[in-house]
Amino acid sequence: MSQPSASVPAAPAADLAVIGGSGFYSFLDRVEEVEIDTPFGPPSDRIAIGELHGRRVAFVPRHGRDHRYPPHRIPYRANLWALRSLGVRQVLAPSAVGSLTPSHGPGTLAVPDQLVDRTSGRAQTYYDEGAAVHLSFADPYCPTGRRVAVATAREAGWNPVDGGTLVVIEGPRFSTRAESRWYAAQGWTLVGMTGHPEAVLARELALCYTPLCLVTDLDAGIEEGEGVTMEEVLRVFAANIERLRALVADVVKTLPADRDCPCARSLDGMTPPIALP
């Protein structure tokens, strides 16, 4: 059964978007906010559209401005659908993550190249009715976005980790020590709560998706003590937010406007059972 296309108000177009949290609410110039409805409900909050380095950029507060959505309740499908309806084709996704290896301490910037899904119960496809759509997801992130992010970070003085595997857990709780040690034993390097299904939904809409992961803590199985606390995560994130925000702006400036990556061709030869915006 086909679903209706999104209802979108008259709004400025943007070709690039940032999905992020606190610290990114005021990094755009000449901002306009728009409310968008989608076949999957409203996004996390009003979408801010503004200018950054001469480009039109949309921003979605992933958890809502008041942080009302825990990771497992974020309206991921609505967020990505709304961005595409505005013309967005490239997405940058900064987030706080835990480290599963002592070599990636707090303050480390990582740009992973692989993802493991350990969530449960999250809607993670647009194509669950009408026809089966099987997309390639062997490499979950945009190769161009990753290359630009790593190179830009190095130029800005970071020592970024190029590659690695992000395991996404259901949350909102942190991992037990046993879970954390099991993840590390698989060779996975980062753990977070929001990177899935964002990445796969972006691929289903033929969007480029690039993660920018800031390590805020060593996960429970890596460091002895009381384990991960929200206070620690917020403290490390706040200490690095200005630098991370500047990096996102530099990546926005550097990303090529014309896409020649596989992401843009992810739906080639397929007929999705719903009309895309």
Q: In the block, which residue shows the tokens 């099991």?
A: 182
Cβ-contact 59, 48 below 8 angstroms: yes
Point out the catalytic residue in the list 217, 250, 260, 268.
217
What is the rounded CA–CA span in Å between residue 125 and residue 80? 11
Dist CA 160 CA 209 (whole Å): 18
Q: Can you give the three-state secondary structure of 239-271, one letter per residue?
A: HHHHHHHHHHHHHHHHCCCCCCCHHHHCCCCCC
Would you call 258 a catalytic residue per the annotation?
no
Question: What is the rounded distance in angstroms from the CA atom of residue 170 to the CA atom of residue 186?
Answer: 18
Question: In whole angstroms, how far apart are CA 177 and each of 72, 188, 204, 218, 231?
Answer: 21, 15, 34, 11, 19
Is 217 designated active site? yes
* Catalytic member of 219, 250, 258, 268: 219
For residues 199 and 93, give the distance between their C-alpha atoms in angstroms, rounded to a whole number.
Answer: 9
Residues 6+ apart with CB under 8 A from 65: 25, 45
- Residue 231 DSSP SS3: helix
Token pair for residue 87? Answer: 């013309």
Q: Which residues are catalytic?
A: 217, 219
